[in-house]
Homo-oligomer: A and B are copies of this chain.
Amino acid sequence: MPELRILDVKQSLLGDNDRRAAALREQLHSKNTFLLNLMSAPGSGKTTLLRRTAQALKGEIPMAVMEADIDSDVDARTMQEEGVEVVQLHTGGLCHLDAEMTAQGLTGLKREKPGLIVLENIGNLVCPAEFDTGASRNAMILSVPEGDDKPLKYPLMFTVCDVLLINKIDTLGVFDFDIEACTRRARRLNPKLEVIPVSAKTGEGIDRWADWLRRAIRDWQAEGEKARQG
């Protein structure tokens, strides 16, 4: 197993996060790299989902992961076991990532042109939604035990995401969670939101998620091509 790199990342001093994010997106386009910003509450299953994602795309799309974790490296080690290149970002207790921190994280990855880089954001449904990281797309996980009312309580997170994964659907029999009601509430905030029910534990729905990713990466690369010819 390769050595685990750990980076201390620091917030932008400039305060102009939106400009930094736009510059990062341009840089990603120029390298044909798709950066997915993955957000959720603590314990929703981000790392297990990423393991499944790595398995689904193995041999097809090169993948790397930046793990933003507050004070441990358990998630990073889990991903390394899947053979995925991982860099661990230490944020010094900060509750979110911004574009500057994301750009610093990218410098910690050895691979020059991975097809897919996933930024596993801090487990928090509030602050990460407020900061554009410069990612190509935003994804969030809501897990069944958290409840179908979460779009009412954390509206910004549902508004800024391109895709919502409803995870732990293998526990639908145990919890009172209405996928249709949740989807309706989320789409009221964000009509274009893609909603994909999955179980990272059993693998159910992972095919659909992998298809969404393939399409999103293709679209991103086409946008970059167009911009270059533009």
Contacts and interface: CB of A to CB of B under 8 A. Distances in A.
A155 B43 CA distance: 14
Interface string A125-154: 111001000000000000101110110111
A227 B148 CA distance: 46
A93 B95 CA distance: 14
B70 A149 contact: no
Interface size class of A (residues with CB under 8 A): 20 to 34
A190 to B, nearest CB: 14
A128 B122 CA distance: 15
Interface of A: 41-43, 69-72, 74, 93, 95, 122-127, 130, 143, 145-147, 149-150, 152-156, 168, 171, 174-175
Closest 7 CB pairs of A and B: A43-B146, A145-B145, A95-B126, A72-B152, A41-B42, A43-B147, A95-B127
